Structures are given as C-alpha cells and as structure tokens.
Amino acid sequence: MNIRFCRKEIGEEEVDTIISLIPESLPEAFKSIDPALKKKIEEISRDLPLYTKDSFVLLTPEGVKAKRVLLLKVPPSLDPLELRKVYSQAGREARLKELGPDVAITLTGLVDPLVEIEIAIEGIAQGSYLPNLYRTEKRERDLENLILCHPPTFEAQKVAGKAELVANTQTYVRNLVNEPASVVTPLYLVEEAKRIAAETGSEIEVLSVEQAEKMGMGAFVAVARGSDQPAFMVKLHHPGKGGKNRLTLVGKGLTFDSGGLSLKPWESMITMKSDMAGAAAVLGAFRVLPLLRPELDLMGFLALTENLPSGKAYKPGDVIKAMNGKTIEILSTDAEGRLVLADALAWAVKEGAKHIVDVATLTGACIIALGHETSGLFSNHPSWTEKILQAAKKAGERVWELPMFPEYKELIRSEIADLANSAGRSGAPAGAIFGAMFLKEFVPEGIAWAHLDIAGPSWLPKNNKSISGGATGASLRTLIELGLDF
C-alpha cells in the first residue's frame, strides 16, 4: 500500500472511495464538499448505529471527483485501540466491496492527529488484507493507494512513512505465516533472513544441525532429527552503536508441527504451518527497526525446524542435554517449542544478550487462558515487563502478564533429569506457565528476559468484522515499538 497526502480539497481528489468514520459531527475535511452531498452524509450518519457491521456506501453526484463515500458511525469518545479496530473494519469492507484501488480517508479528530494517521494507515492495511494467496479467482480491486486528508507537515509525513513501512511489513509477516509448510520450510526462512540482512546492512550467521550439535545444542538437534528438511539456527545482528544497550529478539520457527511421535489429532495439525509465527515476527522486526532506528544494537535468533515423526525422531522417555548443560526428560515430543527456544536462548546469552524477548506460539493453554485477543507475557524483571506492556499499548496489541511464582517451579521437576519438558498429559494445570518456567531455566539471573506466548492472537480461526481469519502478524508492532523506545 502506497501513502500520500491530499493535494486538493476532498471533493476534488480523483479517488474511487472516501472512507469516513463519523463521530457526532462531520470531519473537518468535508467543510468544502458539495453542499447537497454534505447534507446527505449528515442525514445518513445520524441514522447509522454505532459499532455495527452496517456501513453505508453513498454514490456521489456529478462534480465530485470521488466516486463514492464509505461511512461508518463511531462514538464521540473512542480510545486508540478501539479506533484502530474500526479503521480495520473500514479497510476490510472496502476490500470486500471492491472500493479501491485509490482510497482517501478523513480523520475523526478523536485522538491526536499524528496518532490517528498511524492508526488509520495500519488499521486499514490490516483490515484490507485477504489471505487469498492461492485463489484462482481473486478480487482485483485491492487497496493500493491511501490518500490522507491532512496537511502534509514534516511530522505527519514522518509518521505516515513509518506507518506505511510497518503496515507493509505486517502484510509480509502474515503472508509468511499463511503460506503452506511445503513452501515455507526452514531453508526458505533462512533465505528470507539473508535477504533482510542484506537489505538492512545486518550481519547473519547460519548454523546447520551438524554445527549446532558441535555447539552442544542437544535440545534443538533432538527436535530437528525427525524431519528430512534441513534445520537451522540463525543469528542476525545489526550492530548500531554497540555496547550494553542491546535488544535481543528470539523467535520460535517450527515451520510445521505434527507433534512428533506424540502425534496431534489431524484437526489440530491444520493450522500448524503457523507454528513459526514467532520467527516471522522477529524477521519482520529486523525488516523495520534497522531502517527506522539505525543506531539500535539489535540481535535476533531464530530456531528453524519441523517436528515430525520418523525412525530418527526423538522419543518420549529420552533424556537430552541443552547448550547450557541442563538435562531434559522428554515426556511429550509435542512440547518441542520450548526445547528449540532453550538452545536459542542459551546461544543468545552466550553472545552477550542482556535484554531479551522471546516470541512463540508456545502453548494451547495460553489460548484457553486468554483466547485469541491477547498474548501472555511472562518475565523475570518488573521494569522490563512494564516496558513491554507500554510498547504493546502503543502498538495497539493486547498483552497480559501472567505469574511466575516460585511454587510453579515444581511443575518442571523431573525424577531423572534436571527438567521435564511436559506435565506428561493433556489438561495439566498451568500449561502456559509451565512453558515459561521451563524457558526461564535458560536465562541466568541478571539478564532481563520476557516471554510472549502468542499462540492465541497469532492465528484467528475465522473472520471477524475487522480482520480476516488466519495469520495476524501478532507481536510485530509490539517488537517494533519496543525497539524504537529502547
């Protein structure tokens, strides 16, 4: 999606559609529009109910260059997160009703204009995305050009430029996650990481399974062993200014998870191409942050593999050793994400990480706890927790902190090894906390660490009024805001 500002009055812009969210009074941009059209918009907006699936498409009279107006009614008071959802709904309706490719938007004035510009661009891009990558019959009138009805000040153009980059990157991440696992393999993601490193001037190091094994990454190697696809550990580094203020992102990249020998039911495998959404979000952050904040010292680690059953696969009852020397009893091969992340975290620590966020579709238990709207946040450091919560709020993503009380450490106890990777049965209590407590064992005291479990919001099981079902790009905007304020 390309962004520009209005060059003329709203009625003089040659666009396919004007999108307008109407609070109590018409947006300022309508002050110079055709009087008859303005009166009609006022009449319709009075009758439109709030927060509804109903919108109204009004064809414009001769003399108005825009072909139509899409109207949605909003309350006179609206917080930024809810406003983002309504813009997303507008984008979705514009795409489904084929109202593009050229769309102008009027700002409501309900929040600071610079904040609203960012929300509007990202929201409309989020809503207008359709996951029809392999449809032979596609809707052709995509939203390609978004025109903002606001003075093109330096500050406004800067905000719009950032929002355009973030919105296009969110589309990139969603496409990655929506692609079939036969396309997005570990090697495919390695090639994407190399391309992003080249584009942003970042360094990249790629470890094969054999190299990972030599470094002692027994947990990662155990999971990788079951697949015929080559597996990789990847390190990205954009040095920036260097020094101790280094932000480190770690992403789980299971490009397909069958559960291994602890095989999932077939219905549960259908969406398991999305088990690399954490790694995709980290790749997206590396696509944006070095461009928006080149002075930031940014490291990223991706654990890329499949989890499949075979004669080479690791087995329940095995004991494996991670890079930091801790031994792990395998009670379920379907608790593999924490294993590959364990070695990724240990590698990050070895490379000097001091502030870490790992992002993973780690547990179905987090979906049970928080649903598909909210990511679970676990952390060992209160001020780091608060910084991530503030970044999520600014990004318009819902994140909720869950506890890691010392008593929960009993969950991960093994009789024969240092740790158990699972409670050993489905329906065990505190499943999301179990996963976080396990990961915490691979981050030494003194390092600020947080774990984002995005199992719920990374994938919507069905469409809603503001976003298509499938991949959402969850946590990408939070990681970007965290990096910008780090």
For the annotated catalytic residues, the residue numbers are 264, 338
**Alpha-carbon torsion (94, 281, 257, 329), positive or negative:** negative
* 83, 110 Cβ separation under 8 angstroms: yes
Helix (H/G/I), strand (E/B), else coil: 211: helix
Strand partners, 305: 254
Residues in the chain: 486
**Radius of gyration of the chain, Cα coordinates, nearest whole angstrom:** 24
According to DSSP, the β-strands at 102-106 and 203-208 are: unpaired
Beta bridge partners of 448: 355
Cα distances from 362 to residues 31, 116, 202, 423, 455, in angstroms, run 51, 33, 28, 14, 6
Which two tokens mark 136?
């032979």
How far, CA to CA in Å, does 390 sit from each of 52, 88, 271, 383, 479? Answer: 29, 22, 30, 11, 11
Distance separating alpha carbons of residues 119 and 46, to the nearest angstrom:
25
Contact 199, 286 (CB under 8 A): no
Beta bridge partners of 400: 376
| Residue that has been written with the tokens 């995305």 in this structure | 129
Rounded distance between C-alpha atoms, residue 302 and residue 176, angstroms: 15
Q: Could you give the C-alpha distances from 86 to 58, 72, 202, in angstroms and in order?
A: 18, 8, 37
